Amino acid sequence: MTNNRDDVTIISEKQSFAVNLSPRNSILHSLPNSFDHYTACPDCDLLLHKAEAPAGYSVVCPRCGKTLSRSTVAPISKVLALSIAGLILYLPAMLLPLMTFTSFGFSGSANILESILNFYRNDYYFVSLMVLLSAVVFPLILLTTIFYITCQLQRKRNPSSLRPLFRLHLYLEEWAMIEVYLLGILVTIIKMSGTSNIDYHSGILCFSCLVLITLAISTIVDRDLFWQEIEDQGLGNNAEFPPVQEHLQTPRTAAEKGLIHCHTCHKLSPASLAGTGCPRCGAILHQRKPYSVIRTWALVITSAIFLAPANLLPIMEVDFLGIPDRSTIVDGIIHFFQSGSYFIGLIIFTASILVPVFKIVGLVILLRSTRPDHTHFLVQKAKLYRFIAFIGRWSMLDIFVIALLSVLVDYGFFTSIHTAPAATYFSFVVAATMFAAMTFDPRVIWDTCYPRDYSEDKKQAATLLEKAP
């Protein structure tokens, strides 16, 4: 489909159409002091009319392709029901045994918590902390906060705690990784199915259902809609804003219009409020994430440095009849390919080598694109940024597999699997690359093209005026 570049695009998988909101006639020349009918794209800062998508549709930024909001029928009651189901399943999922491996008369079983305690007992404190937070603590905080928030919204109540709790929820969404842990369980099962008998217990069913529920919640929770609900029920700051200063005659972006787009709740506020709390969510307002480029460079360089020991040192040790055999990530992948397990080898290769390297290289490309002369392939770079932000968490797969194997394959003197030093470095790489993607502000890439697009805007605006009756 085609549409004017500033129109809001509403698309679904099957069909798509554009809503002509005549942005140049309304946004650009008569923006009122209350900006609730407007929004800006979080990835490119393009100023847009707010549009409500019909059921089954999404609102998409016409410039960079970012999905701005989705439409769901009765999202609050759905999320409330799902969070109750998730909280009921949480303890069984964490405490009940997942499965038992039996081999040569020896057997070992594990639940999620035991797999983490094993890292701690072997002095891998950072790895155990990272797995504990991402697989146990953060999923519980997510379920509890969203249960409390939806409960209060459903009852039309609005305690002041809703704003900080929803901010916490949105921040931790990135760091809760139980779906990656579930993939780790599947990889472990496939890896050991040839050498051990596997008995499945109720824990694995509870954990799988918990993963499905948390995925459903994260799909349904639309941050714009939830912030709007929180604001509508009395927490919004209805104070009159100071007049907005227009920096250019025909501004395209929120920044050019003298507005700030809140990173957390996406509300527009006057640029004069920079450095103060957002009227809607309370997060500190910045025109762009502070020191975004320098911080991201520092984190990318840190992760590149840790990537070397993560791949060169052994990550896992298999003791067979008292003889230790240490293997690196690459050794493990080669072993899978040589034994014919191509699918698992490919998954481990993708998660452990391809994803971290791709993230580092991709972020370097994005960081170099913040220079003024790099104005090409902006849409592709926006897609690259979103892909990097999406894939970051999946690198934890190998760590989760080792967590499970070290508990499940513990047959005393006969054979056992232990964690080796590269696990710590690998966890550093995952954490640093995730922080790097979160610190980077994708709008900085688009800032480089203002002058070029601005002139194009003026040409288009002139054409539109000529065509008008």
Task: Give residues in contact with Zn ion (CB under 5 A).
Answer: 41, 43-44, 46, 61, 63-64, 66, 262, 264-265, 267, 278, 280-281, 283
Nearer to Zn ion, 211 or 444 (CB): 444
Q: Using DSSP, how many helices (H) and how many strands (E) does the chain show?
A: 18, 14
- Taking the complex as a whole, the smallest distance from the CB of residue 430 to Zn ion amounts, in Å, to 28
CA distance 187 to 346: 11
**For residues 177 and 271, is the Cβ–Cβ distance under 8 A?**
no
Rounded CA-CA distance 248/253 in Å is 10
Q: Where are the beta strands (DSSP E) in 336-467?
A: 415-419
The residue (of 264 and 370) whose beta carbon lies closer to Zn ion is 264
Contact in structure between 423 and 315 (CB atoms under 8 Å): yes
In whole angstroms, how close is the CB of 278 to Zn ion at the nearest point? 3
Nearest CA to 177 out of 396, 348, 429, 352 is that of 396
CB nearer Zn ion, residue 35 or residue 119: 35
| Nearest residue (CB) to Zn ion, 201 versus 286 | 286
- What is the C-alpha separation between 20 and 142, in angstroms, rounded? 37
Q: CB 10 → Zn ion: shortest distance, Å? A: 14
In whole angstroms, the minimum distance from the beta carbon of 406 to Zn ion comes to: 43
Count of other CB atoms within 10 angstroms of residue 75: 20
Distance CA(431)–CA(140), nearest Å, equals 20
Looking at the Cβ atoms of 221 and 283, the one nearer to Zn ion is 283
Least separation in angstroms between residue 269's CB and Zn ion is: 8
Q: Tokens 């393009």 correspond to what residue?
A: 46
Q: For Zn ion, which is the closer residue by CB, 114 or 441?
A: 441
What single DSSP character describes residue 363?
Answer: H
| Segments in 96-232 forming alpha helices (H) | 112-121, 125-132, 138-154, 162-172, 178-192, 202-220, 223-230
**Of 97 and 236, CB closest to Zn ion:** 236
Min CB(264)–Zn ion separation in Å: 5
Burial class, 308, CB count within 10 angstroms (exposed 0-12 / middle 13-18 / buried 19+): exposed
- Integer CA distances (angstroms), 374 to 7, 345, 371, 442, 450, in order: 25, 38, 6, 14, 12
Residue closer to Zn ion (CB basis): 61 or 402: 61
| CA atoms of 134 and 136, how far apart (whole Å) | 6
Q: How far is the CB of 347 from Zn ion (least distance, A)?
A: 32
Encoded amino acid at 246, one letter: E
Phi, psi of 289 (to 5 degrees): -55, 130
Measured from the CB atom, is 230 or 244 closer to Zn ion? 230
**In the bound complex, what is the minimum distance in angstroms from residue 254's beta carbon to Zn ion?**
11
Q: How far is the CB of 167 from Zn ion (least distance, A)?
A: 8
CB of 229 to Zn ion, least distance (A): 14
For residue 456, the SS3 value is helix
Of 10, 1, 24, give the one whose Cα is nearest residue 52. 10
Residue nearer to Zn ion on the CB measure, 86 or 279: 279
Task: Give whichever of 111 and 264 is closer to Zn ion, judged by the CB atom.
Answer: 264
d(CA 43, CA 61) in angstroms, rounded, equals: 9
Q: Is 278 helix (H, G, I), strand (E, B) or coil?
A: coil
Task: Determine the residue type at 344.
Answer: I
φ and ψ at residue 106, rounded to 5 degrees? -100, 150
- Distance of alpha carbon 439 from alpha carbon 286, whole angstroms: 13
CB of 312 vs Zn ion, minimal distance in Å: 40
